[in-house]
Amino acid sequence: MSDILHRILATKKEEVQLAKASVSQSTLEELAQASLTDANLKTRGFIHAIEQKIALGQAGVIAEIKQASPSRGILRNPFYPNLIAQSYAEHGAACLSVLTDEQYFKGCTAFLKEARNACHLPVIRKDFMVDPYQIYEARAMGADAILLIVSALSDQQLQEFESLAMQLHMDVLVEVHGAEELQRALLLKSPLLGINNRDLKTFEVSLQNTIDLLSDIPKEKRIVTESGILAKKDVDFMREHQVHAFLVGEAFMRAENPGQALEALFF
């Protein structure tokens, strides 16, 4: 595990303890349950939205909304999540990914709410899950899916967190970086398997990372390639290898019109 991920996870655990002192987990559990029948917050079907696009012969694009990253600093200023979400929806995205980590990515829960309220697309809460508290929190804020990073969690935590998310009607994107993590991820039920092409130690990106893992992945899994999709040739390369779902953010965040940049890359 990289030093930066260690730091982020340590910070996240501290943040969760502070949050629990402000809003109890029992309160969040009640809000999460209430969200399941609230017309404005009911889950929208994250995986289903991806599969619908792919069934039409298109790429299933999870378009990311993030203001900053630890490696690149501020990506977009001014930053309006609602306008970005509308732009993505108008130009063919299947889903949204919204960063809610504050310290390292300059995100917040309000950004997810703004983005989701601005369009019809389902949204994944992109954050570093270390406690069930965050999963109840995700559903209470309207998230349709959560991210579980295999390198950040034990097998027991992965299974517990996935089960809880599914009980709350949320989908789960399970993220791996290599062969060892892949074997752990395959023990989970979620069909959505993210392969991050960024090396956590060097931060170098190689699309070959996704390709190298394909032969070990069962057909029933939906592979999402993450990081390093910058040009049409990258998209074509992946689709030639039957990888049709993508998570892309940085390339769009630097564009004047993120939605138009998405359409130019994928359609």
Residue-wise pLDDT tens digits, 209-231: 999 999 999 999 999 999 999 99
Pick the catalytic residue from 126, 137, 197, 250.
126
Pick the catalytic residue from 196, 197, 209, 250.
196
> 223 forms bridges with which residues in the sheet?
193
Pick the catalytic residue from 66, 114, 209, 250.
66
CA distance 60 to 140: 26
Active site residue 126: yes
Pick the catalytic residue from 15, 51, 114, 175.
175
Distances (CA, A) of 66 to 15, 99, 209: 19, 5, 24
Other beta carbons within 10 Å of 75: 18
> Hey, what are 5's tokens?
């991920």
> pLDDT tens digit string along 19-62?
999 999 999 999 999 999 999 999 999 999 999 999 999 999 99
Active site residue 257: no
CA distance 243 to 266: 13
CA atoms within 13 A on the CB side of 19: 19
CA atoms within 13 A on the CB side of 2: 14
CA distance 253 to 250: 5
Question: CA quadruple 8, 176, 85, 91: dihedral positive or negative?
Answer: positive
What does pTM read for this prediction?
0.96
Active site residue 66: yes
CA distance 150 to 118: 31
Active site residue 106: no
Active site residue 233: no
Distances (CA, A) of 69 to 14, 73, 166: 20, 5, 29
Element (H, E) at 125: strand 123-126
Instruction: Return per-residue pLDDT of the chain as tens, 267 residues.
Output: 568 889 999 999 999 999 999 999 999 999 999 999 999 999 999 999 999 999 999 999 999 999 998 888 999 999 999 999 999 999 999 999 999 999 999 999 999 999 999 999 999 999 999 999 999 999 999 999 999 999 999 999 999 999 999 999 999 999 999 999 999 999 999 999 999 998 766 678 899 999 999 999 999 999 999 999 999 999 999 999 999 999 998 889 999 999 999 999 999
Distances (CA, A) of 244 to 30, 65, 69, 154, 180: 37, 20, 25, 29, 23
- Structural domains of the chain sorted by starting position, each given as residue range(s) with its CATH number in brackets: 3-266 (3.20.20.70)
